[in-house]
Structure 1
Amino acid sequence: MSVGEAVEARPRRRRRAVIFGVVVALVLALLFGVPYWTLVLAGNEWPGPVPAVLSVVALVAVLAFPLLMFGGHGRGMDRAAIIADTMLGVVWVLFVWSLLGNVLRVVLTIAGVADPVRSRIVTAVVALIALVLLIWGYAEAMRISRVRRVDVTLPRLGAALDGLRVVLITDTHYGPVDRAKWSRGVVDVVNSLDADVVAHTGDIADGDVSRRRAQSTPLGDVRAALARVYVTGNHEYFSGAPGWVEHMTELGWTWLHNKHVVVSRGGDDLVIAGVDDRTAAGSGVPGHQADHAAALAGADPSLPVLLLAHQPQQIAGAVTHGVDLQLSGHTHGGQIWPFHYLVRTDQPALQGLSRHGERTQLYTSRGTGFWGPPFRIFAPSEITLLTLHAA
């Protein structure tokens, strides 16, 4: 870049920074402001110092939140990340139910209920629902994932492979909360399922291998009769992708870096291919990009293909290349209701089995772990057992 280009680029960077700052400020104002208005102001007429105390709490929270988020996720301070992520989950739930609570306010107004009774009813309902959902959502996030059993018919699957058991785990997101014991529990469940193939479709962790080694090491004890296969997710590219693929290889997993393996049983074969995450090309990691053609290069076109791709959005490439079944994660099923509406604006599927084109099916897992806020509300985690059937 020339000196002149560098000088011209500086104002653009400043404009982008200003726009970003304004957007963040508006988002924070809405997220914190709507619950504050609903629970503290809005005609509640709280006695004595209650409004002042609650206002101070709200002000401290809104000022501390970006600092904690930057320290936690920008500088790798796990304790700050835990506090910031928990605050994000709490304020999101309060924001959503405050919006819905104000619908109740309209109903009460029509029914002739006046303030402060009306506002206090709304506050009580919002606070109670939020409290129950947060307690339940935390328990859901921390529990060992349930097994979700799915039968998938692949017309091109050979008869000898009928009943092949594929276990899918994804989005484990080992992070600031130490979940080494949880990780061991997940592996124990996986090993109880007598899998032929175990697949991990990425987002192993948030943080590099040195920081998350204890949580991820149990993956080395996963058992599979035919193959243990892995592809990168977008979070690998925030957390040192080369280190994670090396670590998974050391743990005995086969990294499907735009390549495939063939598994066989009773004379019938299945191609298991994998592609890098769709964000890999822009990550700056040399040689990383999603390449379906490379992944299937040399594969017998008459054989059925099982493809690992982190994001459901990568299904277009799978359809183009005649894949029979793609396994993905990434969406977390929305994780905290109603965030799934935003997820669906970016992804063609949220969770479960769906068909795309004449041949290709897609299974999207809700994820085995959680990211960020330690809550799962109306989007339980899963360990998926897919049983493949011939036509």
Structure 2
Amino acid sequence: MSVGETVETEPSEPRRSGRAARFALLVTVVMLLLWGVPWWTLLWSGNDWPRGVLPAGTAVFVAAAVALPLLMVAGHGGRHDDRAARISDTLLGVVWVLFVWSLLGTVLRLVLALAGVDGPARSRIVTVAVVAVSLVLLLWGHREAMRVSRVRRVDVVLPRLGAGLDGLRVVLLTDTHYGPINRARWSRGVVEVVNSLDPDVVAHTGDIADGEVDRRREQAAPLGDVRAGLARVYVTGNHEYFSGAQGWVDHMASLGWEALHNRHMVVSRGGDSLVVAGVDDRTAAGSGVPGHHMDHEAALSGADPELPVLLLAHQPQQVTDAVAHGVDLQISGHTHGGQMWPFHYLVRLDQPVLQGLSRHGERTQLYTSRGTGFWGPPFRIFAPSEITLLTLRAG
């Protein structure tokens, strides 16, 4: 190795060590908060539990707090251990709900104090309330996550849409996240609902799976049975870039879907036409996957500027470029509608829209789905999943 090479590589080691240390510190702080707040509420805060309850409960909390990041790494890191992923994802969902409602329990604690309830009784009432609400929400939220999504019907008026395409039925799937829990049966149920809607166009706007094609092939297989009168189209989401993005593009093509990898197609009916375009996720350029990046110019290259444009883009944030390129309607997912309240508020820090139909600029509208599946924790709390039926109306 030359002297020049040594000078280049040595400074990078402290930087890598510094990043690793900061990440470890962040994880430690997060774990302390997530587990510490429920521990204080349920065990420490004046409950006066019988002897032995506090040390035993503390041991459980400590073990869970240590196990969660280790299981997350084993499940979602290089090992791809689905069993570890299932346990860690569930633990994450449980502690999130306990954390949120332990914080809200301080309000009840204040109300009880003002009402004159004091001593262990006040703390125990708060503990019982937090546990009861958390248990109900977790059971309900799990059922909501695992059920076949309900259909959400939305009419969208596009002033430039020709009369021949009035009533065009676009079914939107997104964020199916085929993953550690085998949901092949759920996937078949989703496809049955989609086909019952008699769609003209079926669109999947990414985050198809967590895991490469070979690991999730069975769950994705029913997508090959989706029926659409004019087109089945797909674009990548950010999770594809952890899961072999090009493999999923190729696999969707093998299932008969048009992978709109920064390109477009034209669908026609009744003498009128619609440009259906797609762009890669905004994270694609940094993924290192050759040829993958968000490129609206390429996606619309050669398209007739007089025709209305339906754009598939995984993240609502991509609507800024859609406005700049005169897109009529962008359809997206990514947000999951927050998935587990009150995570909604954190999502809004990153995305312009949480869910539903919104307008951006003079021409462009954006529809953001709450997602068809779920990521990570198998819970949906105040954020139901959806299969979206968008009926396009001529202006």
Interval containing the TM-score (normalised by the shorter chain)? over 0.9
Query: Which 10-residue stretch deviates more, 139-148 or 56-65?
Result: 56-65
Instruction: Select 2:14's aligned residue among 11, 15, 19.
Output: 11
Q: What SS does the corresponding residue of 2:44 show, helix, strand or coil? A: coil
Equivalent-residue separation in structure 2 for 1:306 and 1:354 (angstroms):
15
* Corresponding residue of 1:96: 100
Between the aligned partners of 1:326 and 1:98, the Cα distance in structure 2 is 39
Map of 2:72 onto structure 1: 69
> Unaligned regions of 5+ residues in structure 2, if any?
none
Instruction: State the one-letter code of the partner of 1:245.
Output: V
Residue from 200, 207, 211 that aligns with 1:207: 211
2:394 maps to amino acid:
A
Q: How does 1:101-116 map to 2 (within 5 A)?
A: 101-116=105-120
Q: What residue is the counterpart of 2:133 in the other structure?
A: 129
SS at match of 2:276: strand
Deviation at 1:110, TM superposition (A): 2.2
Partner Cα separation in structure 2 for residue 3 and residue 335 of structure 1: 48
1:51 corresponds, among 54, 62, 87, to: 54
- Per-residue displacement from partner, 1:291-345 (whole Å, max 9, x unpaired)? 0011111101010000000000000000000000000000000000000100000
- Out of 30, 33, 36, which is 1:30 matched to? 33
Distance in 2 (alpha carbons) for counterparts of 1:157 and 1:244: 32
Q: TM-score, normalised by structure 1?
A: 0.99
Asked if 1:342 is matched to 2:342, the reply is no
Range with greater deviation from structure 2 (333-342 or 43-52)? 43-52
Q: Which amino acid aligns with 2:127?
A: T
Following TM superposition, by how much is the alpha carbon of 1:359 offset from its aligned partner in structure 2, in angstroms? 0.3
Shift of 1:179: 0.2
Shift of 1:52: 2.0
SS at match of 1:116: helix
Q: Tell me how far apart the structure 2 counterparts of residues 71 and 257 of structure 1 sit (CA, whole Å).
A: 32
Distance apart, 1:2 and its partner CA: 2.6
Unmatched tracts of structure 1, length 5 or more: none
Residue 152 of structure 2 is matched in structure 1 by 148
Deviation at 1:48, TM superposition (A): 2.6
For residue 299 of structure 1, what is the aligned residue in structure 2?
303
Q: CA deviation at 1:11?
A: 0.7
The CA RMSD measured in Å over matched residues stands at 0.7
Structure 2 SS opposite 1:350? coil
Matches within 5 A, 1:1-391: 2-74=5-77, 75-391=79-395
Give the SS at the match of 2:156: strand
**Offset, 1:254:** 0.2
Structure 1 segments, 4+ long, off by >2 Å, are none
TM-score by length of 2: 0.98
Residue identity opposite 1:236 in structure 2: E
